[in-house]
Structures are given as C-alpha cells and as structure tokens.
Amino acid sequence: MHQRQSPIYTPPSGPPQVDRPSEEIFPALGQKGVFELLATLYEHLEQSPVRPMFPEDMHTASERSAAFFVQLLGGPPLFNQHYGPPRMRQRHLPFEIDAAAREIWLACFDKALEDAPQRIGFPEQHIPGFRRFLEAFSEWMVNHKPAS
C-alpha cells in the first residue's frame, strides 16, 4: 500500500454539504445487494491506477467498505460494530488522495452502478442522488494537492 509522504491538504469546501442517499435504497438492495455493489466497485478498483492505495486483500477491503455503505444507507450499524466510528476522512489520511485519484474512484463507482438496477435492484431513480453524495463525500477524502 502507498503511504503518505506529504503534508495534509484540506479541501476549502469543508465536510460534505449534501443529503445522505435516499432511505429507499437499502430496502431495495438489502445487505446482500450493498455487498455485491461494493464487490463490483473493488473489481474495477483492482484494475485501476489507484490499486496501490488499497490493501493486497481487496475482498476484505470491499467488505469493510460495504459495511460502511450498509450503515450509511440505513441498514444495521455494521461498520460501527466491527470497526468503530467511521471517521472516514481520518481513516483515509495515511494515503495521498489527490483529485486525480478521486476521479478514478468515482469512475470505478460509476462503472459499478451502470448495471446495478438490473443486477442488484438498485432503484434507478435514486442513482443521481447517490452519485451526488459520492461526489461530495469523495471530495472530502482528497487530502493531497500536488505542487503546481
């Protein structure tokens, strides 16, 4: 895994100012669907240029992220039960995440969402709101600004 070597950058926009994803998503997907969505995301991440930022065991990393998304979408507090409070920005600080890495992560998530309505029952009408959340959330994870 690639570890941080530069000072921490904080986005001037501050923490995300966006609505949480719709509460209708979790009942439609269920826990199994959320885990499948994140497994698909991690399959794309595994083939991406940001792969070195992730642990060798992508399956376990995928399940950890899925636990966060289950909780975020209104399911049981899996992340808190297994890993403690999310504090996602803090958890991402050891890794240099710049705007380019964020864009790759978002593109991988977009690929995972492409057929999610048919594959896992993701409510199509909630994909735009979910993407807005992902954009704001991922902007807050950016913690490195390369020198100009």
CA distances from 12 to 15, 105, 107, 121, 140 (A): 9, 20, 23, 36, 9
Crossing angle between the packed helical segments 58-72 and 25-46, to the nearest 10 degrees: 150
Per-residue pLDDT tens digits for 15-58: 888 999 999 999 999 999 999 999 999 999 999 999 999 999 99
Read off the pTM. 0.92
Per-residue pLDDT tens digits for 79-125: 999 999 999 999 998 889 999 999 999 999 999 999 999 999 999 99
How confident is the prediction for the chain on average, in pLDDT? 94
By CB atoms closer than 10 A (0-12, 13-18, 19+), residue 40 is buried
141 closest CA partner among 79, 78, 94, 71: 94
Rg (CA), the chain: 15
Q: What is the set of domains in the chain, with CATH numbers? A: 25-141 (1.10.490.10)
Whether the Cβ atoms of residue 131 and residue 113 lie closer than 8 Å to each other? yes
pLDDT value at 7 more than 70 = yes
